[in-house]
Amino acid sequence: MQPSTSNMNPRSLTACLAFLGVAFSFSVVMIGTTMPTPLYPIYREAFGFSQLMITIIFAAYAFGVIAALVATGRWSDQLGRRPLLLGGLLCSIVSDLVFWQTDGLAMILAGRVLSGISAGIFTGTATVAVLELAPPQWRERATFVATAANMGGLGLGPMLAGALSQYLPTPLVLTYLVHIGLAVLAFACVWLAPETVKKPTHPKLSLQRLNVPPDVRSVFVPAAIAGFAGFAVCGFFTSIAPAMMGNVLGYDNRLLIGVVAGSIFIASTLGQFLQGKLPLRLRLPIGCATLVAGVAPVALGIQMQSLALFMAGALIAGTGQGIAFRAGMGAIAEASPPEERAAVTSTFFIVAYIAISVPVIGIGLMASVISLKTTGFIFSVFVGFMAALALLILLKRGHHTN
């Protein structure tokens, strides 16, 4: 049972507030990265974008994430956590300002890249900062708090933007002004938080090295395949869901679009929580199997034009993605030598964000040739195949081990 704040001494209360403040800032940055999802139909109508262009706009975010992961992945050890987090929040705020003042494709792409850079900075640095700032009474739950801030923020972004854009005026302005307000509050939280790193006198900045040692590859490959499939589904729901909801399922309510798009991330948060309660050896296989089970209703929902099936598939697939992602990360971290752990983990994240971007561009290309309905069905089958392949590799490896 957690002690109440009334029983805490001032130092413990300050430590708890710093921990929650950085977790809040993590969530705010991730909210900003998915907020444009329910707004894509408005941009499409305003600027005449094709579905292919919408997917390219979405994918620009992933390239920003990858660039930031590689460039700044090791900087917080040299410069401190707070400077990197403050820089990430500034990128998020500038992204909002660019979107607010956008007059066409170039500014939208710039806004998405800046948003991706903010997320790339926060993905590694904020996770570590939350763990380091956790007070003793929160230590066991700190990893889940960081996970919930990350994936929960990604889920809340489309829901918040959907509600604001559906029921209040000037959606392409108000949505970003609200997020700027949240980001300013988050900036204050990080500014007031203590630094957790003892910075060297002469910092040495370098790129994050990517590497998977040969003795880690047997663990890395199935985890990476499962991660690729899971993140591809997340990319599908945050880039194609608005068009799928409107053109195939026949729903144009932006709050509903935001709820459907965000639900996969909320389910992922639940899956990451549940995986700790599963037997260690079965976590990744169960995650893969759940992901396969989830894409089946997604495919059927598209074919039968059923929102209930489509939504059920999002929830099941999201839960599987969460289980597989956290289990895969844990297995990779355990198998990696300490001196290689950061490089292997970064490589895993690069695979994940390639999965978010490249397949959705393929969807956009395919949808320009065949119907969006057929494209969505083919994509669901592809993701199911990837997750099933990871499951088969895991089962085969388990059989040889036994």
Task: Specify the pLDDT at position 164.
Answer: 96
Residues 72, 88 contacting (CB under 8 angstroms): no
CA 327, 127, 91, 254 dihedral sign is: positive
What is the domain class of 9-203 according to CATH?
mainly alpha
Kindly report the average pLDDT of the chain as a whole number.
88
Residue 396 has pLDDT above 60, yes or no: yes
Residues 196, 227 contacting (CB under 8 angstroms): no
DSSP3 helix / strand / coil % (the chain, rounded to 5): 85, 0, 15
Residue 402 has pLDDT above 50, yes or no: no
Q: Residue 67: exposed, middle, or buried by beta-carbon count in 10 A (0-12, 13-18, 19+)?
A: middle
Task: Specify the pLDDT at position 170.
Answer: 93
Residues 161, 115 contacting (CB under 8 angstroms): no
Residue 398 is encoded by which pair of tokens?
Answer: 């388990």
CA atoms within 13 A on the CB side of 312: 11
Task: Specify the pLDDT at position 398.
Answer: 58
Q: How does residue 259 score in pLDDT terms, banded at 50, 70 and 90?
A: very high
Q: Residues of CATH 1.20.1250.20 domain(s) within the chain?
A: 9-203, 209-402
Q: Distance (Å, rounded) from C-alpha 102 to C-alpha 98?
A: 6
Residue 203 is encoded by which pair of tokens?
Answer: 């910092």
Residue 399 has pLDDT above 80, yes or no: no
In CATH terms, 209-402 corresponds, of 3.40.1360.10, 3.50.50.60, 3.40.640.10, 1.20.1250.20, to 1.20.1250.20
Q: Which residue has the higher pLDDT, 44 or 276?
A: 44
| pLDDT > 90 in the chain, percent | 45
pLDDT one-digit tens code per residue, 18-52: 899 999 999 999 999 999 999 999 999 999 998 88
Task: Specify the pLDDT at position 350.
Answer: 87
Residue 158 has pLDDT above 50, yes or no: yes
Kindly state the average pLDDT of the residues 97-109. 94
Residue 401 has pLDDT above 60, yes or no: no
Residues 150, 26 contacting (CB under 8 angstroms): yes
Kindly state the average pLDDT of the residues 147-159. 92
| pTM exceeds 0.95 | no
Kindly state the average pLDDT of the residues 137-160. 88
Residues recorded for the chain: 402
pLDDT one-digit tens code per residue, 315-347: 999 999 999 988 888 888 788 887 777 778 888
Q: How does residue 9 score in pLDDT terms, banded at 50, 70 and 90?
A: low
Task: Specify the pLDDT at position 301.
Answer: 93
CA 270, 271, 272, 278 dihedral sign is: positive
